[in-house]
Structure 1
Amino acid sequence: MENRERFRRVFVIVIDSLGVGGAADAAKFGDAGADTLGHIASHVKGFSLPNLQKLGIANLHPLEGIKPAEHPMGYYTKLNEISRGKDTMTGHWEMMGLKTEKPFITFTETGFPPELIAELERRTGHKVIGNKSASGTEILDELGEEEIATGHMIVYTSADSVLQICGNEETFGLEELYRCCEIARELTMKDEWKVGRVIARPYVGRKKGEFRRTSNRHDYAVKPFGKTVLNALKDAGLDVISIGKINDIFAGEGITKALKSKSSVHGMEQTIREAEEDDFHGLCFVNLVDFDALWGHRRDPEGYAGELERFDEKLGVFLDAMREDDMLIITADHGNDPTYRGTDHTREQVPFLLYSPSMQEGKELPQADSFAAVGACVAENFGLTMPKGTIRISRNYMEECR
C-alpha cells in the first residue's frame, strides 16, 4: 500500500445519541424542535464541559451557560443524515459509507406478532412473557421473579429495532440465553419480522428491587449489506479496534480486535489505555452507549448531563495521551432528546469535532450532507478508496484541516 497517510492512529468516538438539533427533515420523523445537547444545557444549571468546549462544541452549537471558545482547538461542523432511519445501526453504517434505504422494523406500539412468538416458544421450549416495549430495569422488576420461578422467558422491545431476551445467569443460564437469542435471530431474518438486533440481556438477583443487568450482554446484529470503510481498512492490513458495541453493530465485519465495555466511563478508560499503551496502526472506533440507554430513552436530562460531564473529564485524560500523529473525531449516531415527548430517538444533526495535537488552531467547516464524512476522513487519511457502492462526500475535510 502506498504510504499517503497523515496520521498513524485515528480515534472515532461516538457519543451515542448526542444530537445537536436542526435536522431539515425532522418533521417527517415527528421530531420537529428536538435538540438533545441544546435542551440539556438549558435544563441543567451549572452544566460544564471544559474539554469539549476547548474543541469547539459551543462554537458548533449555542449552549446556555457554555461560551464559545475564543480560539477553538478543533475543527467543527454538523453532519446531516441521508439514510431513512434514526437508529443506532443506520447511523453507524452511514458513518462508514452505507446508505440505508429501508428503515429497520420496530414493534414499539404492538409487541411482536403472535406468529413470531409462537414459533419462538416452539423452537426454544420456553413460554414467552412480556412481549411489549419496556425499560430493561422495569421489565425485570415486573417479570423477573416469574421467570425465575417458572423458567419462562422475558421477551421485550424498545423504541429501537430490537428483540431483547432476559435471562437470569443463575437460573436460566448464559448458554441457554445465548441459544434462545440465536434462534430468535434466525427467525427475525424474515422480511416481515426483521429487526436490526437481537440482544441477550443477562441479569443477576432473585427478587424485585435487587435485579441487576450484567456485562455479559451480547448483540446479534444483521450484517451490513455492503462493504464499509472498516472492510477497506482491514483489507489493507490496518488495525480496526472496536470498543463498546461497535463490533456488534457491524456483526464483526472489518474488525480486527474487539473490546467490550461495562459502561461509557469504562469505554473511555479502554480508549485511553489504547492511546497510552497500544502502538496500533489504523482505527480505534468507540461507541459510548450509556447516554442513549440510561438517560435519553428514560428522558432524564440531569442524568444525561452528568454522563456528559464524566465523559468530558475522561476526554481531558485522553487528549493528554494523544500523540502528534494521532487524530480524533467525536460524533454521534442520532439524537435522543431527554426533554422531548415519547421515548424514541430523535432525528437530528450530529456534531463533528476533529482534532490532532499536530494541527494549528481549529475553525468551522461547512456542514456535510451525510454522516459518511466520518468514514471518508478515515479512508482519505490512509490513502484508501471508499468501497464500491458507498456514499460519496462532496468535500474533502482532511484537506481543510491543517
Structure 2
Amino acid sequence: MKAYRRIFLIVLDSLGIGAMPDAAAFGDEGADTFGHILEKMETLKIPNLQKLGLVNLHPGGRMKEEERPIGRYARFAEASNGKDTMTGHWEMMGLRTEKPFRTFTENGFPPELIQELERRCGRRVIGNKSASGTAIIEELGEEEIQTGAMIVYTSADSVMQICGNEETFDLANLYRCCEIAREITMKDEWRVGRVIARPYVGKKRGEFHRTSNRRDYALKPTGRTVLNALKDADLDVIGIGKINDIFCGEGITKAYHSDSSVHGMEQTLEVCDQEFCGLCFVNLVDFDALWGHRRDVEGYGKEIEKFDRNLGVLLDRLREDDLLILTADHGNDPTYKGTDHTREYVPFLSYSRRMKEGGRLEEGKSFAAIGATIAENFQIEMPEGTIGTSMLAKLL
C-alpha cells in the first residue's frame, strides 16, 4: 500500500538557509539567504511557513520559534559539485553532479564560440556580457531591430540567453538560433546548463517588454531519475513552472508553464482539486530571478509573504493521503556580493494530515533523500546509478 497517494513537491527557488561548510570554495562564505532577509526586514508575515517549522529551522530577527510545529523539518546539504538550478533539481531526483556547469559571468562567451554561433545563425552577435535581461533589451533593442543583429547575454547562472524582437526577428527564427546555440554549447569546454530564448516586443527604448513566449533548451539529465521510474510505473508526474525544462521533459507526464510564482501556486491549487496518483513537482522561480539575482531584499521578503498566503490555501485543501514537501535548490543571498547563486543548505519542510506530530529531523546529507522518499512511497526501485536514502518512515 502507498503511504501517500499524492505528493506535492514545491521548490522555492533559491531560498537557502545558511552557508554550507564548503561555501568558501565557491566564493560564498557567510551567505545566508533567509537569515539575512530576516536580519534586514526583522519580521515576515509567514504564519503558514512558521507552523511548518521554517523559523525553528532558522530563527532570526524578531520572529519566534513555533512551540508546536505541525510539520517535520530539517536542513539539507547539497552533495553535488555546484549551486545551480539543474544541479539542485537533478540531485533531488537522485543524480549527483560531479562536474559543474560552466559560467561566463566575468568576460562573456569566448570569441570562438561567438564566431561559430554567428556563422551558423547568419546573424551578428551584440552584447555578449553578463546583464539583466530587461536592461540589455533597453540598451541594444533598437540596434537589433535596425541592423538585424542578435542580442546574446549571460548571467550569474550557467546560461546563454538570446533576445529577439517578435515583430522583426521572428519567433521561429529565434527558436532556430537557440537550437543551434544549444548544439554548440554541448561541447565540454563551453558546457552551459541552459540556452534560453527571450522574445520581446516594442519599437524603441521605454516601450520594450518581454513576452511569455520564452523557451528553455536545457541539457538532458545525465541519467535516469526518479521521475523516469515514476512514469514507467504509470504514475502521474505533473511539472509546474520550470520543471519540464529542467528535466527536458524526461519523466514528465503533464506540464504547465507558469507566468510567475503566484501563477505557479494558483496552478498547483488547481491540480490539487484534480484526481491523480503520483507527484506534482513545482518550481517557483521569482524568488531567484526577480529578487535574488537583483539583490532586492525587500522584494524577496514580500515574495515569501505572497507565497505563504497561497500556501495557507493549499494546506486547507490537502487530502488525508497527500504529502506536502517544501524545499529549495540552492541559495541566492540578496545581501551578498555580486549577483550569483550562493552555496547554502536548503530547508526541508513536510506536512500531511496523517503525521502523528511535527518536529525536527536530522540533517540530510543530500537533496536526493527527497527522490528516494518518493520512490519508496510509490514502491518503485531507484534507477541504477542514483543516490539517496529514503526518510518515508519519519514522515508518517
Amino acid at match of 1:287: N
Q: What is residue 337 of structure 1 aligned with on the other side?
A: 333
CA positional deviation for 1:361? 2.3
1:137-156 to 2 correspondences below 5 Å: 137-156=134-153
CA positional deviation for 1:158? 0.6
1:233-382 to 2 correspondences below 5 Å: 233-276=230-273, 278-382=274-378
Unaligned runs of 5+ in 1: none
CA positional deviation for 1:105? 0.7
Q: What is residue 136 of structure 1 aligned with on the other side?
A: 133
CA positional deviation for 1:63? 2.6
Q: What is residue 227 of structure 2 aligned with on the other side?
A: 230
C-alpha contact 2:43 2:61 (8 A) present in aligned 1 = no
Distance in 2 between the 1:94 and 1:307 partners? 25
Identity of aligned residues (%): 70
Residue 82 (structure 1) aligned with residue 79 (structure 2): yes
CA offsets per residue over residues 151-176 of structure 1, 9 Å max, x none?
11000001111110001112211111
Residue 190 (structure 1) aligned with residue 199 (structure 2): no
Q: What is residue 124 of structure 2 aligned with on the other side?
A: 127
Residue 14 (structure 1) aligned with residue 8 (structure 2): no
Amino acid at match of 1:368: G
Q: What is residue 160 of structure 2 aligned with on the other side?
A: 163
CA positional deviation for 1:46? 4.1
C-alpha contact 1:362 1:401 (8 A) present in aligned 2 = no
1:205-216 to 2 correspondences below 5 Å: 205-216=202-213
Amino acid at match of 1:347: R
Amino acid at match of 1:336: N
Q: Secondary structure at the match of 1:10?
A: strand
Match of 2:66 among 51, 69, 79: 69
CA offsets per residue over residues 161-192 of structure 1, 9 Å max, x none?
11100011122111111011001001111111
Q: What is residue 379 of structure 2 aligned with on the other side?
A: 383
Q: Which runs of 4+ in 1 moved over 3 A?
A: none
Distance in 2 between the 1:45 and 1:144 partners? 40
Total equivalences in the alignment: 396
Distance in 1 between the 2:201 and 2:388 partners? 46
Amino acid at match of 2:165: N
C-alpha contact 1:53 1:66 (8 A) present in aligned 2 = no
CA positional deviation for 1:101? 0.5
Match of 1:102 among 99, 103, 122: 99
Match of 1:399 among 377, 390, 393: 393
CA positional deviation for 1:387? 0.8
C-alpha contact 1:48 1:66 (8 A) present in aligned 2 = no
C-alpha contact 2:42 2:63 (8 A) present in aligned 1 = no
Unaligned runs of 5+ in 2: none
Q: TM-score, normalised by structure 1?
A: 0.97
Amino acid at match of 1:120: L
C-alpha root-mean-square deviation of aligned residues, in Å?
Answer: 0.9
Amino acid at match of 2:354: S
Q: TM-score, normalised by structure 2?
A: 0.98
Distance in 1 between the 2:206 and 2:293 partners? 20
Amino acid at match of 1:308: I
Distance in 2 between the 1:345 and 1:204 partners? 29
